[in-house]
């Protein structure tokens, strides 16, 4: 085609995609006419919802397990503290008794030194 004739031809029209308007629109309803795509979309939404629910449940479980571990650890700490306190009290009592015995022994030795021995 010569160059002159190419200017005489009409250009191709651009395809326009006009939106489809629905008279009685209902939010949430899928107006897709292709059943396969609609089913895939529906299932993907369901999968996404289930995934979110599973993640939420895992978080709850994790929090519960952490609280249980903390409760058990606190119980063991209290039990250990009671045992340590009992041992400490026992050792303090033994030390007190030893100190009393040492004082009495010391006084007796001093009294024995001060008293003269009588020879018969």
- Per-residue pLDDT at 19: 77
The answer to whether 38 touches 32, Cβ cutoff 8 Å, is yes
Report CA-CA distances (Å) from 1 to 5, 9, 10, 12, 13: 7, 11, 14, 17, 21
Domain spans in the chain, listed from the N-terminal domain onward = 33-114
Asked if the model's pLDDT at residue 64 lies above 80, the reply is yes
What value does the mean pLDDT of the chain take? 88
- Per-residue pLDDT at 112: 80
**Cα separation, 2 vs 58, whole angstroms:** 73
SS3 call for 23: coil
The model carries a pTM of 0.51
């Amino acid at each position: 085609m010569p160059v002159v004739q190419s200017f005489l031809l009409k250009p191709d029209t651009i395809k326009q995609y006009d939106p489809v308007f629905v008279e009685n629109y209902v939010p949430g309803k899928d107006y897709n006419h292709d059943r396969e795509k609609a089913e895939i979309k529906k299932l993907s939404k369901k999968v996404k919802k289930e995934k979110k629910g599973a993640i939420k449940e895992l978080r709850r479980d994790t929090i519960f397990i952490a609280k249980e571990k903390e409760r058990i650890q606190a119980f063991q700490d209290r039990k250990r503290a009671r045992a340590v306190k009992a041992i400490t009290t026992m050792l303090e009592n033994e030390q007190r008794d030893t100190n009393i015995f040492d004082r009495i022994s010391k006084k007796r030795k001093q009294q024995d030194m001060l008293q003269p021995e009588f020879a018969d």
